[in-house]
Structure 1
Amino acid sequence: MTTLTEAVRAGSTADVLRLVTDMPAAQRRACLGELKELRTELRGVPVWENGAERVRRALHLAGAACHTGAASAAAWLAAGDMRWSQAPTDALLRALECRDAAWLADVAHRLAQRPLSARVRYELMAGLVSRAGCEVPVTDAYVIGWVRHISGRSLSRDGMADLLRREPHLARLVGGVFTLSDVGEARWLLDEGPGWWQSSVAALAGEGLLDRTSLIDACVARLLRGGGPTDHRTFLPFLTELALTREEERARIADWTALARDAASPVASHAQTVLTALALDGDLTTRQLAQASAGLLFRAEKKLVRAQLVLLAKVLSRTPSSAAELLPVVAQAFGHEDTQVQERALKLVERHAERLDSAERGELVTAADQLTPALRTRAAAALGVAAVGSEEVFEEVLPPAPEPVRLEPAPATAAELAEELSALLVSDGDVAAFERALDGLVRHAYEDADALREALAPVLARRWWAADEPRQWPRVDDMFGTTRYGTVDARDGLDLLLATLHGKVSTATLHAAVRQGPNEHECAHSGLARVFDARLREVAYRLRTEPLPLLLATPTWGTGLLEPAELVDRLTEYRRLDARVGAADFAQALLRVRRTDRAAAGEAAARAKALGTREGGRLARWLTTGTPALGGRLAHGLRTGTTAADPVRRRTKGVRILVELGEVPELRAGFPQEFGRLGRPLSVFTDRRHCAHWNEAIRPHWLAVLPERRELVAARLLPDLAATAVDDERGAAALPLLAEADGAAGEAVHLCVAYGLGARHHEDRLAAVDALLVLAARGQLDAVRLGTDLGELVGRGAVKARRLAESARTGAATGAHATVWEVLRHALPVPLAGLATARPEAAAVAARGLGDLLAVAAECAERCGARGDVPHLPETADRAGSSRLATQARRLRDALGVEVAA
């Protein structure tokens, strides 16, 4: 063992530095072998172990000094396993200062090219650059390190300016700030505030230490390039602090035009302000103004579009001869979703259309086809034509009703099954993929468990429980035993079965899990979660003790439905094999079997009874028993009560409207204990504080528990859907599947969709719109019920009108104008009534977002030719002023053909 290695093991960086300084290059190279062995040894030692950190620091210094190649030295210096225990920077620089300048420059540039995550210290890179006398590297790691270094030493704006003045590479590094690929961790340092970067850089440009023109070009180029969604917050202040002169602004008209068209809203607003000033001062030609306006009028931001129309109005008034070039650009606003913007644009055309020739008017006639029907009439009069657009015959467009997908047979070979299981363990997959794989696992384990285990070997390599010496926490038995809340997702269930198949779970644990179930608190989801979990635990126990030949409950269709004839065939196979049926598997099969096709059910019942088995008789009785009509529409006077035929009852909890379920006796009698919870009454006051069912991926499998009784599932999902609107949580992804499921779509289903339409997150609202359209396409949408529910929720404050307007606009954009109108027709009266009766101080709150909702309703009514009246609409339309609320109320009133009282 060399003296250097002894010094490293002693953790003495001083001795290491002294030794490597005196060593010739050949001797240093000779020490590398022992240092690498020590590095390998230290990888298994915790950092916090006594003395380990000091040893790592000494090792880091020794290795850096002993590597004679620049690439290997840089790799050692930036090694991930020594990232948090590096030698002091001054010691590293002293150990390397004997190298020639080219070598030092090479190492510096290699370190600077490392990603930010490598955490290479700026002081080390800067020290190497200084000793090498080389050009400073302008990489993300180096520039952000420099920004962090300067910001950390500056306590004031003046202090930062002084630090920047002393920087020998100032121009190159400041330029590097504008070429960062990712502002990353330096964002908060660069933003205007404690560091005062923008104002300090602008001051240095004023002093001549930075070239002003180059700096402006760099700012504009970065803003044109874009980047992250908040990058403009960093770089736009650099530009505004420079306070460009009119000459500098005039030299960059093309840049302002591009920024106004494509940049983030704040940047586009700044560019628009510059262009407006230039236009009003006569520094923009008509063609340049037209080009800038063409980009701006296509933007979605109403504020920008309106401001541009105001500018165009001023220019047209001052220079009427520009009408031929500017009015076709104005007409681009005819297609804007905001009818007030459309009307502003039309007013400009009305004012200046007389200056156009026939060809130019023809171009505007074509564009005017995008206007609302009421505005088209005005456009036709202004352009001197009989009518604008063709007479359209409205046709409602709904998506095709989804067709159920039949499950493919289980994978034929163990190798195919292993591939499918590997994919499912990476992504949860859908119900069909999971059920196919589950059935295949059971079948192949029954036929040849050893061959199955051999095929699964590559799959197990990445499972946490598959190691020869698994971690002590969590223990495998604890994860899959009764101490666990239950199956969090489908992957949990597959892990349980695979771990059982490979002997990683004890038989006693499996037996206790089947007998006791998971240790969980009661919540709205418990019934569904218990059924899904009980079946998997039973399959796992039988894999160990008495493998099942096949699963009875594997569905026929992707929704979870099981055809009765197919279930009878499986029971026949069980009788032929003299195999014992799994109680939970058979119970799940009963819940999944189709009973609504009475002819098929009767035929299958006769075959089942002829089997002469206990399960055959139970299936025959189940198929011939009628099902209660859950979810059917209640009479108006009974909406808050229960009936003998319908155990659904509406209840309120704070601002929420939820449903309670009465007892469903047929789901309790004759079913295993775990299934009995499905038939118990459900209260809206069920305690959910300790609910472990947080993973949305499990919800499609809950829908497959009761595929013909979606109202029971929806009632249990309703608190989660309410939270997406009231508490801004996530969780509406299952709504389209709920709409595709079978069974009545009643109170609970429609309330779920209502909350989803008012959800905080855009993705959840899209899922709700999909569900709405699917229900409509299947003829199962009760527009009166959904609209009334939405009106009540908006009135209570559970759903925000603006969010609902966005959802309605999305649905209408698909072509479903009549459907959306019918929903909104019944949603509007309650918030309109609340607005009419609100005290003056509360009126603004009551009106928030209602103008947007009325705009969508008016658009739909105009498109589908709706007629009639909406309660409380005339009072809103008669409000004084030109607010969006009053304007859109009048538009809707006119579209419905309501006469205005004299």
Structure 2
Amino acid sequence: MTTGSGTAMTTMATTSTTDTGADVATDVATGAGAELMAAVRAGRHAEIPRLLEPLDPAARKALLGELKELRKEVRGWGWDRWRVQETVRRALWVAGAGCHSGAAAAAGWIGSRELTGWGESYGHLVLDVLEGRDTEWLGDLACRLAERPATAEEQYGLVHALVVRSGGPVPVSEGYVRGWTRTWTWAEGEPVDRLRADPHTPLLVPRVIELTETPEALAWPMGPAGEAPWPSALKALADEGILDRAALADACVSRLLRGGRPRDLRFPLALLQALGTTAKERRGRIADWLGMVADGPSPVAGYAQEVLGELALDGGLGTRELAEMSGAVLFRTEKKLVRAQLTLLGKVLRKDPGAAAELLPVITDAFGNEDTVIQERALALVGRHLADVEAGVRAELAGAVELLSPVHRTAAAELFGVSVPVAAAPYEEVLPPVPEPAPVAPAAETVAELVADLVALERHPYESLEEFERALDGVVRHAYHDRETLAAAVREAFAGSYRLESADHVTDGSHGVHTVLAALLGTVRPGKLDIARRRPGGTPSCAHQALTRTIDTRIWEAAWQVVSAAPVPFLLATPTLHTGAIEPMALVERLRVYRDAGVEPLPVDLAQALLRIRKADPSAAEAAGEAAALGTRAGGRLADWLTADEPLTPGLRLLSRSGTASGGGWWLADRLVMTVRERRVIREEFPEVFAWLGASLTDITRGCHQYHWSGLSPLWPGVLPDDRETLASWLLPSVAGGAEREERGAASVLTALAEADGPVGPATHLAVALGLGCRHAEDRLAAVDALLVLASRGELDPALLGTRLAELVADGTVKPNRLADAARTAAATGAYATVLAVLVELLPGLFGTERAVRGAGDVVAVAAECAERCGGRPGEIAGLARAADRPGSSQLVTQARRLRAALGSAADRVTSEVAETCQ
């Protein structure tokens, strides 16, 4: 028993010692875990690897729950704690990477953009906490991270290090490849040396070529030689045998055939040009070259044209294939490619006259080219080889005469022995139908429908005046009837929206409808809104500020009334028409509801409603009478406004470049000066925020001397939809500045301007003229639409527009080639006479210069085409005869001769018609 007892006691002592050791280990782990969590909460990410080291897998797994809870907590922090939030998330990122035991879960944590943010400055900390993991686990993690595009690119250094540690296969995902290219592009040393030393180069380079979106840096010219380093470096490696030259060439051709944006094809094209092609490769890929020349972007098509041209002259391209190639090229709009193809066809026909029967019909495709010089070259080429074809082919060719411009038809008819085609019917100008104002749908009837509208507006909050106004009015209406229900629905739909959490926008400018929603939810104090809506208007420093401040103040006023003791049932200034205008009788009815409910109008809302009232509406006179009969001050103001005939249009002056107030300002926006005349009604009846419309006698230099952007700019036309010329005056700085800085969207307001009501004068015509010369095609198209709308409404003054264009071309603001593109687009709709009437005012300035203005010939070509089409006879054009009599065959001289011939033909037709009438 003694022995047994001793054994039992020994066992108990051992067990006790073991338990004590376990407890100590647990206590140590608990203390280390607490210290780790404290470091994470403090954002001390650099300490995490040291604090994780003593923790075993079980302790680390136990910490995961706390880390996840902290992650949720941090996600809910406001924007006022963003700096702390960033450091804590970085610490969470490192700690969570070390605590996950599964590769899939670890990849999800490490790859979270919420935790990593941008860049890879802290990837080494993650590598430290993963020290000691087995290679298979690390390889699995690397593969999973490589399949996450953003992680693989932004955290390439981390993923690459994991690949190296694991010894596993190199990922070839798009994100990993993009990260690899970025790393080697910006690393120190020569690119060819870096790529030569990297053992992964042979594997990854073909993947780089296959990328759908190619990193632009691969084709950027760098260094004193001005060449892109990657193509030359890969060419050198191919010459050394490190890379397979044929495989690279095949990859480049395949990528070019897939097509895409020109920027994404720049690198494979540059690499293919650097590698060159062998005779075998050129002959073996004829179908590929034909595909590129037909559908590729201009640089790609040009390269394919060169390759096929070499084959054609060496006998490696059959006549049928050359005809297929020519049909594709001659259909393209690039003049350089078309001219080069005609030159190639001329060389082939000189070597092989027997190919004329198959090639000449294709050449006649160029008869319909918009460039009459190209038409002339094609006609001459056909004429030189006409004797080499049979009568049947000549008859086929003669059928294409009507494709030619009238200036060449007589010569072509004589060449083919046929009569000159005569127009079947007299010319008739085609203009678009006059746009009718479309009614605006009423505000949403239910809270659910309103919230759906607000959510849709979240993505593009200011792109549609109609949607913005309906949503703003809807919030006011539903807040008036059931504020709590609306607030609950908004809080649920916009949970976490920073616009509803921050009050900064009250002092810096409104966030549109979100400002009203923030007031509804109580995240903006009513006192701040009251201060904002009462802020003095004063004299704006520029037009942008005037328009934006007006919209902001109305939004602040609407937000304030939502939480005030006397809210309004709806807004008076909500448009009834898509232009932003309000029908007179609709506003009378709104004021009647206000009167019956004992509600006083909001000052800014009522003023904006008056500026939007459509005075040209047939019911305006009747509405004035009913407004006066309401017996309210607001009704009297509406009646006076409808019957007043005092225009708000300011005086507009355009200073010379040397006469600006700043002593020689260059920008057109800085040379626009508006004289605002004093008007009693603005001073006495309108809130101060509208003072810019004429509360005092002031000269306002309207240019903004720096880049000025406002998210509210799409709403600007809605401030003055019934006073177009005044609106145009205040929009001009934005249009002028955007056009001169070549910004996209510079002319986006012109459509709304053309569809607005009110007189049309110099400011509107100047705005359209600027739009016609914008850099971006969509802006020129907006200006063309505005021109055609004004013409269809009988409001366009072609002479005034042409004079404005002449001034802008003379001082370099508008480039002739861009103007020519816009004019050609407008004419192609059928408005040839309208476009000709505009251009004849511009042409004397182009003809009168000592040296031809670049692109002037394109403008004259459009004028000539318009004259040929419409038979217009605008009278004598100063300088035309002298330009047409100049020696040479430049585009300007050639088109001047064409224009003179077209006007002469028109005069002959008029004389013949008069003679027939007299008989």
Q: Does TM-score exceed 0.5, indicating one fold? A: yes
- Which residue of structure 2 lines up, in the alignment, with residue 178 of structure 1? 209
**For each residue in 1:366-401, what CA deviation from the matched residue of structure 2 results, as whole angstroms up to 9, or x when unmatched?**
443322112222222223322347635322222111
Q: Does 2:569 correspond to 1:549?
A: yes
The equivalent residue for 1:892 is 899
CA–CA distance in 1 between the matches of 2:71 and 2:444?
47
Change beyond 3 A, Cα 1:122–1:190: farther
* Structure 1 residues 34 and 396: CA distance shift in structure 2, 3 A: same
Cα distance in structure 2, aligned partners of 1:831 and 1:450: 67
Query: Could you say if the C-alpha distance between residues 304 and 30 of structure 1 is closer, same or farther in structure 2, counting changes exceeding 3 Å?
Result: same
Q: Per the alignment, do residues 803 and 447 of structure 1 end up closer, same or farther by CA in structure 2, a change over 3 Å counting?
A: same
Task: Find out whether 1:347 has 2:380 as its counterpart.
Answer: yes
Residues 593-633 of structure 1: per-residue CA shift (max 9 Å, x gap) = 33345x733333333333333333333333333344x77xx
After the TM superposition, which of the residue ranges 530-539 and 410-419 deviates more from structure 2?
530-539
- In structure 1, the residue corresponding to 2:523 is in which secondary structure? coil
Q: Deviations over 1:424-449 (max 9, x none)?
A: 34322533333333333333333333
Deviations, residues 812-865 of structure 1 (Å, cap 9, x unaligned): 1222211111110112122322x1xx3xxxx25xx2111111111111111111
Asked if 1:685 is matched to 2:701, the reply is yes
- Residue 863 of structure 2 is aligned to residue 857 of structure 1: yes
How do 1:558-577 and structure 2 match up within 5 A? 558-577=578-597
The Cα shift of 1:76 comes to 4.5
CA contact (8 A) 1:140 1:182 kept: no
Equivalent residue number for residue 626 of structure 2 = 607
Equivalences for 1:790-809 in 2 at 5 Å? 790-809=805-824
How far 1:271 moved relative to its partner? Answer: 2.0
- Give the unaligned 5+ runs of structure 2: 1-25, 40-45, 75-80, 658-665, 908-919
Aligned length: 842
State the secondary structure of the residue aligned to 2:655. strand
TM-score w.r.t. the length of structure 1 is 0.84
Change (3 A) 1:154 1:791: closer
Q: Please give the TM-score of this superposition, normalised by the length of structure 2.
A: 0.83
User: How many Å separate the matches in 1 of 2:484 and 2:784?
Assistant: 49
> 2:262 aligned with 1:242, yes or no?
no
Q: Which residue does the alignment assign to 1:504?
A: 523
Give CA deviations for 1:305-333 in whole Å, capped at 9, x if unaligned: 11110010011122111011111221222
Is 2:635 aligned against 1:587?
no
Is the counterpart of residue 787 in structure 1 residue 793 in structure 2?
A: no
Matched position secondary structure for 1:683: strand
State the alpha-carbon separation in 1 of the partners of residues 777 and 673 from structure 2.
25
Per the TM alignment, residue 497 of structure 1 is displaced from its structure 2 partner at its CA by 2.4
Structure 2 counterpart of 1:826: 841
Aligned equivalents of 1:720, 1:120: Cα separation in 2: 38
Q: Which of 147, 151, 175 is equivalent to 1:141?
A: 175
Q: Which amino acid aligns with 1:856?
A: V
| Equivalent residues of 1:869, 1:896 under 8 A apart | no
Identity rate, percent = 45
* Maintained 8 Å contact 1:139/1:180: no
Q: Distance in 1 between the 2:872 and 2:620 partners?
A: 44
Which residue of structure 1 aligns with residue 663 of structure 2? none
> How far did residue 804 of structure 1 move?
1.1
2:916 aligned residue: none
- Spell out, residue by residue over 1:3-53, the C-alpha distance to the aligned partner (whole angstroms, 9 max, x if none): 678389386688689769xxxxxx736732324534654784988899979
Q: Relative to structure 1, is the Cα distance of residues 530 and 508 closer, same or farther in structure 2, using a 3 angstrom cutoff?
A: same
**2:653 aligned with 1:650, yes or no?**
yes
Within-5 A mapping of 1:311-710? 311-388=344-421, 391-427=424-460, 428-464=462-498, 466-467=500-501, 476=503, 478-480=504-506, 483-484=507-508, 486-487=509-510, 492-517=511-536, 521-525=540-544, 527-543=546-562, 544-596=564-616, 600-628=619-647, 648-654=651-657, 656=668, 658=672, 660-663=674-677, 665=679, 667-668=681-682, 670-674=684-688, 675-680=690-695, 681=697, 683=699, 685-686=701-702, 688-689=704-705, 694-695=709-710, 697-700=712-715, 702-710=716-724
Please report how far the alpha carbon of residue 349 of structure 1 lies from its aligned counterpart in structure 2 after TM superposition: 1.2
Aligned-pair distance for 1:201?
A: 3.4
Shift of 1:525: 4.6
Q: Is the 8 A contact 1:662 1:682 kept in 2?
A: yes
How much does 1:778 deviate?
Answer: 1.0
Which amino acid in 2 is paired with 1:652?
A: L
In structure 2, do the counterparts of structure 1 residues 479 and 443 end up closer, same or farther at CA, with 3 Å as the change threshold?
A: same
Aligned AA (1:275): L
What is the rounded CA distance, in whole Å, between the counterparts of 2:310 and 2:27 in structure 1?
Answer: 76
**Could you say what secondary structure the match of 1:394 adopts?**
coil
Which residue pairs with 1:226 in the alignment? Answer: 259
Q: Structure 2: how far apart are the matches of 1:440 and 1:148?
A: 49
CA shift digits 1:640-686 (9 cap, x unpaired): xxxxxxx6343325264746344152542541342343124563524
What corresponds to 2:914 in structure 1?
Answer: none
Counterpart for residue 635 of structure 1: none
Q: 1:261 aligns with which of 289, 294, 299?
A: 294
Question: What's the counterpart of residue 95 of structure 1?
Answer: 132
**Larger displacement relative to structure 2 (452-461 or 753-762):** 452-461
Quickly say closer, same or farther: Cα 1:202–1:256, change in 2 above 3 A.
same
Quote the Cα distance in structure 2 between the aligned partners of 1:157 and 1:536: 56
In structure 2, how many angstroms separate the alpha carbons of the residues matched to 1:518 and 1:670?
14
Q: Which residue of 1 aligns with 2:95?
A: 59
By how many angstroms is 1:161 displaced?
6.7
User: For the structure 1 residues 95 and 130, does the alpha-carbon distance in structure 2 shift closer, same or farther, using more than 3 Å as the test?
Assistant: same
1:182-224 Cα offsets, whole Å, 9 max, x none, are 3327626898979844344334434444444323212211222
My pick for the range that moved more, 43-52 or 585-594, is 43-52
CA distance in 2, matches of 1:229, 1:378: 40
Aligned-residue Cα RMSD (Å) equals: 3.6
Give SS of 1:897's match: helix
Change in CA separation of 1:216 and 1:552 when aligned onto 2, cut-off 3 Å: closer
Check the 8 A contact 2:480/2:569 in 1, yes or no: yes
Q: Out of 726, 736, 740, which is 1:712 matched to?
A: 726
| In structure 2, C-alpha distance between the alignment counterparts of 1:738 and 1:175, rounded to whole Å | 52
Could you say if the C-alpha distance between residues 896 and 513 of structure 1 is closer, same or farther in structure 2, counting changes exceeding 3 Å? same
Distance 1:70 1:864, change over 3 A: same
Letter in 2 for 1:31: R
SS at match of 1:660: strand
Letter in 1 for 2:644: T
Are residue 881 (structure 1) and residue 888 (structure 2) matched? yes
- Mapped to 1, the partners of 2:906 and 2:476 lie a distance apart of 70
Indicate conservation of the 8 Å contact 1:60/1:86, yes or no.
no
